[in-house]
Structure 1
Amino acid sequence: MTPEKDNSKLTFPQFDVVSDMSDHHFLGRDPTHCAGNRFLRAISKEWRILQENLPESIFVRVPETRSELLRAAIIGAAQTPYHDALFFFDIALTPNYPNEPPMVHYLSHGHRVNPNLYSNGTVCLSLLNTWIGHPSENWNPKQSTLLQVLLSIQSLVLNGKPYYNEPGTVRFWTKKSSEYYSQDVFLLTCKTTINLIWNPPTNFKPLINHHFRQRANAILAACDAYANGRVKVGFHGCDAAAPPSFKIRPIFQMNIKIVYANLVSEFQRIEASVPPGGERLVVIRTNKPKGIFRRMIKNMRCFGIEEEK
């Protein structure tokens, strides 16, 4: 089914079968194991579960000639550094499925937005048996499903405090470290958004463009709020009691200014309604940067970006 769009609404089903997915990460794997009755029954069961239970924040596509392959898009949840963004995962069911978990590859665009999502696409998750967890958290052939995998990525990986997903960070637990990490994650998430608009995965361009047309202003407003420390990363759009930032680093402000300008350019390219005069992010500095940060901010002029006083 081809997605259709009018002036106000995009019709993009949560689950659908498509004719082309030539850029799928696992396309080169041998598909001959898909012909067995046992395997076909397992696939049919998974499809039915996805069709009936996918939440509005997750979309799945399956190529019609390769039923063992899937691609999922997950919308980042509110009150996380991933809010309003899209994250894509390529999935392959192995010959031993469901006795072993599916293979999952994150479409990273070279960015590591989480300790469990590597820039090479590796996804570390107990449910996938790619991380050593409690036995009850590992893949169970009799109970585990693809839907559980997607929901686990959304809730356990793309969470509100990704800093603590890194093994061993509990020993060095500080609110400042966690907030700094979330600032970096938000920045990489914005870069991922730019990459997705430039190079959308096959069959998802209509969703990507519609999604960011709807959320462009919220993302730009969040950049402003976070860069100026009015609210902690992840809390833009929450009530007035949302906590302000612990501290904003000059390097974060500098990078957000650059990314903001690129976001505006890409949002305008997909005809998002960006407020007039909103091409430039105004950052109010409460402390004068020193040393290397002063030199870096000076070099921002090569991007056509001036520092506010």
Structure 2
Amino acid sequence: MKEWRILERDLPESIFVRVYENRIDLLRAVIVGAAGTPYHDGLFFFDIAFPSDYPARPPLVYYHSFGLRLNPNLYENGRVCLSLINTWGGKKCERWNPNESTILQVLLSIQALVLNEKPYYNEPGYTMWPGRALRQRQSMVYNENAFYLSCQTMLILLRLPPRNFDGFVNWHFRVRSQAILSACQAYSSGKVTVGSYTSDGSGSSTVDEDVVSRLFKGLLGGLYPELVAAFSSTGASVEHFVEQPKLELEAASYKADGEPAKKKENKEKRGFSISKILGKLKKVFGMKNRVKHLCSSSST
């Protein structure tokens, strides 16, 4: 099939696919979140089905959301909104063209146009307005939520990896665990904007005052021990991430509308130290093979 030859030749290292010998109409792909976005180092799985009259009609794309909405274009029910597959409006040149469009273009579009650095602006009507402080702040908060949900997705994938990708999932997070945990620390410090952290510290957007919300700090602080434990179970060397400075749980009491609840007069500031879970983490501790960019299997 021509599509397979294109994928074998041009698929980037950040996208992996598996095809099935007995079902050439099906394909499963995983996209690695790109650096510079709130999706960095995450894994995002998509199932793709080719209709009987393909390429007259575009492929059907389903996103494994696990019930989480981490992007305006990716719905909890698995729907993917993208002009190229005719699930969203757009100019004629942006929609599926049977004579030119390919599945590779679909995967690259999802990676570049959907899982981008400012997904907030993917919402219809939320156009880029440079200098508009409110929109910019809302975009930053959206990035915080996207990163948090991406981390939740990591935990789900490690517990329930998609079929035929269990080895790859473990390998990926074993290799990228330190970068992910370092990013969590940087974001929890409040001095680095979500999505701008780089593992070597270069290019990070740092400021003198907090640029992340108290709610995000609290949520991420609660998730951090789970990430350390999950990465440890893959065989990753994360021991030095166990004993860390306190990550503040400032979001312990928030109203449903996101506004901070009124604090009691003499209530102490609450926090926790990651070192408290050292005993728990030591109980947990696997994986070696990286899957090829294109491989085959006999079942879905």
TM-score range, shorter chain: 0.7 to 0.9
Letter in 1 for 2:227: L
- Quote how far apart the aligned CAs of 1:79 are: 0.3
- Looking at structure 2, the residues matched to 293 and 52 of structure 1 have their Cα atoms a distance apart, in angstroms, of 59
Identity %: 48
The CA RMSD measured in Å over matched residues stands at 3.0
Structure 1 pair 91/285, CA: closer, same or farther in 2 (3 Å)?
closer
Partners of 2:58 and 2:39 lie apart in 1 by 26
1:284 Cα deviation after fit: 5.7
- In structure 1, distance between residues paired with 2:252 and 2:156: 32
Match of 1:99 in 2: 56
> Whole-Å Cα distance in 2 between the matches of residues 171 and 178 of structure 1?
10
Are residues 1:190 and 2:190 paired?
A: no
- 1:176 and 2:137 matched: yes
1:133 has 2:90 as partner: yes
Report the equivalent of 1:77: 34
Structure 2 counterpart of 1:292: 261
Question: What is the aligned residue count?
Answer: 261
- Give the drift of 1:279: 5.8
2:65 paired with 1:113: no
Deviation at 1:277, TM superposition (A): 5.5
Contact 2:26 2:47 in 1 (8 A): yes
Deviation at residue 204 of structure 1 after TM alignment: 0.7
The range that moved more, 178-187 or 264-273, is 264-273
Structure 2 residue runs without a partner (length 5+): 255-259, 278-300
Aligned equivalents of 1:255, 1:246: Cα separation in 2:
16
Task: Give the letter for the 1:191 counterpart.
Answer: Q
Q: Aligned-pair distance for 1:65? A: 1.1
Partner AA of 1:207 in structure 2: F
In structure 2, C-alpha distance between the alignment counterparts of 1:171 and 1:233, rounded to whole Å = 18
Secondary structure of 1:50 counterpart = helix
- Give the secondary-structure state (helix, strand or coil) at the position aligned to 2:161: coil
For residues 253-286 of structure 1, give each alpha carbon's deviation from its aligned partner in whole angstroms, at most 9, with x where no partner exists: 1110111111011111111110336266623699
1:250 matched residue in structure 2: 214
Distance 2:160 2:108 in 1: 25
TM-score, with structure 1 as normaliser? 0.77
Q: Structure 1's 178 and 203: CA in aligned 2 closer, same or farther, altered over 3 A?
A: same
Listed one character per residue, the Cα deviations across residues 14-38 of structure 1 (whole Å, up to 9, x for unaligned) are xxxxxxxxxxxxxxxxxxxxxxxxx
State the partner residue of 2:115.
158
Letter in 2 for 1:230: K
More displaced stretch, 128-137 vs 170-179: 170-179
Is 1:232 matched up with 2:193? Answer: yes
After superposition, give the CA deviation of every residue in 1:22-60 in whole Å (9 maximum; x if it has no partner).
xxxxxxxxxxxxxxxxxxxxxx01111111110000100
3-state secondary structure, aligned to 2:47: strand
1:50 aligned to 2:16? no
1:107-148: CA deviation from partner (whole Å, max 9, x where unpaired): 011111100001111000000100001111000000000000
Output the CA distance in 1 between the equivalents of 2:147 and 2:121.
16
CA apart distance, 1:67: 0.7
Q: Looking at secondary structure, tell me which structure has more helix per residue.
A: 1
Contact kept in structure 1, 2:36 and 2:197, CA below 8 Å? yes
Alignment-derived partner of residue 280 in structure 2: none
Show the 5 A alignment for 1:271-282: 271-276=235-240, 278=242, 282=246
SS in 1 for 2:247: coil
Helix, strand or coil: the match of 2:16?
strand
Return the alpha-carbon distance in structure 2 between the equivalents of residues 130 and 287 of structure 1: 37
Taking the aligned partners of 2:251 and 2:149, their CA distance within structure 1 comes to 24
CA distance in 1, matches of 2:252, 2:99: 59
Task: Report if the CA contact (8 A) 1:115-1:165 is conserved.
Answer: yes
- Deviations for 1:87-125, whole angstroms, at most 9, x for unmatched residues? 100000011210110000000111111000011110000
Q: CA deviation at 1:242?
A: 2.4
1:15 aligned residue:
none
Amino acid of the structure 2 residue aligned with 1:204: F
**Counterpart-to-counterpart distance in 2, 1:247 and 1:123:** 31
C-alpha displacement of 1:71 = 0.2
Larger RCO (CA within 8 A; separation ≥ 6): 2
> Does residue 175 of structure 2 align to residue 214 of structure 1?
yes
